[in-house]
Amino acid sequence: MNFDIKPASDYPLPDLVQWLNLSFEDYHVPIRFDLSQFLTMLRKDNLDLSSSRVLLADGEPSGIALIARRGWASRLAAMGIFKELRGKGAGSWLVEMLIQEARQRNDREMHLEVIATNGPAVHLYEKFGFQIVRKLISLIRKDAHEESRGELREMDLREAGRLILQHGLPDLPWQLSGETIALLNPPARAYRHEQTCIVISNPDVEHVVIWSLLVGSGDDESLAVEALKNVIANHPGKVWHVPALLPEELGIPFERAGFQREELSQRQMRLGL
């Protein structure tokens, strides 16, 4: 079988969405995109379709790799192989090509996240030199109610992104970085509560995602807990989700605020180029 790659920018967006879904068929967790979700990811995560690749096997589309880029860093935002080709060396071949191209672009580092229970994928990336940075966890709190705990002031999402860049961890996962948060648009919202900043998805629907929780000065967990409870008080009865992107070391305030860990976790990985 002969492998080749072509830029994703050579293909219509609906085809890319279709191949992305085929690449994650029977994956460890259900993953399915529609065109609207793909366009949002394209903008928010700085996906570069000219650097992303469609895998061809004997001339036929058989997989896809989406590459995001910022400055000297790139991220393997998604990579999958059609299920009939898995276990035949296509994944290893594609990862090697992607690393070669990153070096040719003079990237200095490449990032990715991988489901922790996906042992073959973790092993594949480790084989090519990726190192585990940390464990990323997910949490949930259902039908949440709290009493109001002070003023909650809405702020510009761009300002929230700036604060995260200034005060957040320097190696946050790509999707939680200040650059990404600054590119969110309403109905996502950002709030200030005393010295704390919190960023959430649309609070007018049943399921709400917490994208960021930042204490602007120092490391006062009690302030973070108060901010969480205050946001919940302002949007009662919701199901609150923290996606499997939260650095494990940042999970304590959520657990103190009544959130429960979920089974799904990931490994954040990095390759120096």
Task: For residue 132, tell me if it sits in a domain.
Answer: no
| Residue 112, in any domain of the structure | no
- 115 belongs to a structural domain: no
Peptide bond into 120 cis (omega under 30): no
Mean pLDDT of the chain: 95
Count of all residues that appear for the chain in the document: 273
Nearest residue to 7 via CA among 62, 58, 55: 55
In this structure, the answer to whether residues 198 and 145 fall within a common structural domain is yes
Predicted confidence band at 220 (pLDDT cuts at 50, 70, 90)?
A: confident
Which two three-digit tokens encode residue 247?
């650095």
pLDDT at residue 217 greater than cutoff 70 = no
State whether 18 and 91 are in the same domain: yes
* Average of per-residue pLDDT across 133-149: 92
Tell me the average pLDDT across 3-28.
96
Per-residue model confidence as pLDDT tens digits over 223-247: 899 999 999 999 999 999 999 999 9
In this predicted structure, the answer to whether residue 268 has a pLDDT above a threshold of 80 is: yes
Note whether residue 113 is domain-resident. Answer: no
Q: Which residues contact 54 (CB under 8 A, 6 or more apart)?
A: 5, 6, 7, 8, 10, 11, 16, 19, 61, 63, 64
Shared domain for 98 and 155, answered yes or no, is no
For residue 266, give the H/E element and its range.
strand 260-272
* Span 15-41, average pLDDT: 94
Mean pLDDT of 112-132: 96
- On the question of pLDDT at 218 being above 90, the answer is no
Tokens representing 191 are 């709030």
Q: Find the mean pLDDT for residues 192-215.
A: 94
Give the pLDDT confidence score for residue 219 in this predicted structure.
63
**Hey, what are 20's tokens?**
């992305």
> What CATH number does residue 152 fall under?
3.40.630.30
Res. 184 pLDDT band, cuts 50 70 90: very high
Contact of 221 with 108, CB cutoff 8 Å: no
Banded pLDDT at 43 (limits 50, 70, 90): very high
pLDDT-derived band of residue 215, with 50, 70 and 90 as boundaries? confident
Q: How many domains does the chain have?
A: 2
Q: What is the average per-residue pLDDT within 44-62?
A: 97
* Residue type (1 letter), 63: G
Domain range enclosing 173: 137-267
